[in-house]
Amino acid sequence: MIHESIVITRSSDDIHIAPMGVQMKSESLIIKPFKPSITLENLKNNGKATINFTDDVRIFAGIVSGYKKDWNTSENKNFDVPRLSNANTHLNIEVKNIIDDDIRPKIECIIIDKKIHLPFHGFNRAQFSVIEASVLISRLGIIPMEKIENEIKYLKIGIDKTAGSNEIDAWKWIEKKIQNYKNKND
């Protein structure tokens, strides 16, 4: 099963924050970043990451849309990669094996620590809509625009019925990203 998360990695001089689905197992997980990616390079070079689970869907939309990429992080005791400050839960992971692939290498990791910071009450429809729309906008230029627009139209129902201020902000970034893409490619 794939869980949507925020992956934080570290290079020699900076951190990188990226939304990414991870395949969870009991004491391990698999990350499959696309080539090329900063996450992939950092995992190859550093071998460590934090996997953050959060109900603040602005983080997913902000990063993927490019409208807000910097999010607060906190020191991670005894681990040199920080965690999201508002993560509900985070996992410290270490790379055990990388199986190369031309498109998406398979990075096998072990979970070395898990911390629960805040209760997670599940996603409401608006939060789900933002996450799904974030995945869609990450595929602009890959998926036909008509399909993206149809799915966005359907997902907007969840926004209209259940969104709070965070989800409304995130949705605006998503709509703006789609409109900017269309303006550049029409």
Strands 48-53 and 89-99: antiparallel
> What confidence tier does 186 reach under pLDDT thresholds 50, 70, 90?
confident
Q: What is the mean pLDDT of residues 140-157?
A: 97
**Predicted confidence (pLDDT) per residue in 19-50, tens digit:** 999 999 989 999 999 999 999 999 999 999 99
Q: What is the mean pLDDT of residues 155-174?
A: 98
Paired with 70 in beta bridges are none
Residue whose pair of structure tokens reads 């990226």 in the numeric block = 18
CATH fit for domain 2-116, picks 3.30.500.10, 3.90.1150.10, 2.30.110.10, 3.30.70.580: 2.30.110.10
What number of other Cβ atoms are within 10 A of residue 81's Cβ? 20
Residue whose pair of structure tokens reads 């998406």 in the numeric block = 104
**Predicted confidence (pLDDT) per residue in 108-135, tens digit:** 999 999 999 999 999 999 999 999 999 9
Its pTM stands at 0.94
Q: Are 33 and 107 in contact (CB under 8 A)?
A: yes
Q: At residue 62, does pLDDT exceed 80?
A: yes
* pLDDT the model gives residue 150: 98
